[in-house]
Amino acid sequence: MQSKQLGSSRSAKRMKSLSPNWITEGLPDVEYKTYLLLAYLKEVKKEFFEQKIYPSYSDLYGHYRNLLEVKTGREQMKMAFPKTLTRADFENLRLEYQSLAEDDAFLQVMDEIIEYSIPEFQKHLETGLELYRLVEGNLHISEVGLQALEVSEGYFFLLAPPKKEAAVYQYGLTRVHLPDGQYRAIHVSHLDNVRLSISNTFENLKTDLIRRSSNKNVMATYLIESEVSVPWEESMLPVAKRCLVEYLVKQKQGE
């Protein structure tokens, strides 16, 4: 990573996406659907090879969840239809039934592509997760200066090899209410990139941030330091943000 990339505000280049309705739209053909899937997964694999976690990982996970929901819906629908006994296997104490409602060709194609796709998504998700863990495992978070009483807002410095320049961010934590529970979300804004020196220490930088802020109280300020160099917008920053949220939540729980 070159220093000039630190804290870049440019949005990450979007890879070719897969339509959320790729299973149901277009030709009801297994070969065609497989082509769409493999073309998409090829793009995902390329992104992961370049150590770019997002947006590929979240997009991949969204498709995977959709597949599981469709599969569950299909299984519930099949269970709801009446069945007739077709064979009795008394030796193995098993009865075999056949649904009275036969699937049409479209639903059969959908079932086949779902069964093929789920393991493919799982395999690529595991690759993305390994990459995430690599970045996460090489991040170290420490507090800069005096400990703040309130950590729901503050600053953080993000430092990565060659560690000559740090990106400065302001953050704020909020609660997000979703159907499956409450989550902490973090919003950040990039303030500056700063060159480090003997006189330009993180403690001095924090003092300068507070001096320039309208809030003169001691603000929570953290140093997030990485031992690996990965693409900034697609991997370094998003993983650092998630790790900081987990760190801050643990801090609040320990109070």
pLDDT digits (tens, 9 = 90+) for 158-192: 999 999 999 999 999 988 755 555 678 899 999 99
Same domain flag for 232 and 203: yes
Tokens in use for 230? 């990965």
Same domain flag for 31 and 88: yes
pLDDT digits (tens, 9 = 90+) for 47-104: 999 999 999 999 999 999 999 998 888 777 777 665 544 454 535 656 455 554 555 6
Same domain flag for 103 and 10: yes
Same domain flag for 49 and 84: yes
Q: Is the dihedral of CA 38, 39, 40, 44 positive or negative?
A: positive
Which residue among 103, 136, 169 closes a domain? 136
pLDDT of residue 14: 60
Domain that holds residue 153: 139-253
Same domain flag for 173 and 239: yes
Same domain flag for 19 and 131: yes
Which residue among 95, 120, 136 closes a domain? 136
pLDDT digits (tens, 9 = 90+) for 212-232: 887 767 789 999 999 999 999
Same domain flag for 248 and 178: yes
Q: Is 98 helix (H, G, I), strand (E, B) or coil?
A: strand
Against a cut of 0.85, is the pTM above it?
no
Same domain flag for 68 and 154: no
Same domain flag for 46 and 93: yes
In angstroms, rounded to a whole number, what is the distance separating the alpha carbons of residues 18 and 21? 8
Which residue among 136, 157, 192 closes a domain? 136
Q: How many structural domains is the chain composed of?
A: 2
Tokens in use for 196? 């480090």
100 vs 127, residue with greater confidence: 127
Same domain flag for 153 and 234: yes
Same domain flag for 151 and 43: no
Rounded to whole angstroms, what are the CA distances from 208 to 161, 193, 213? 24, 14, 9
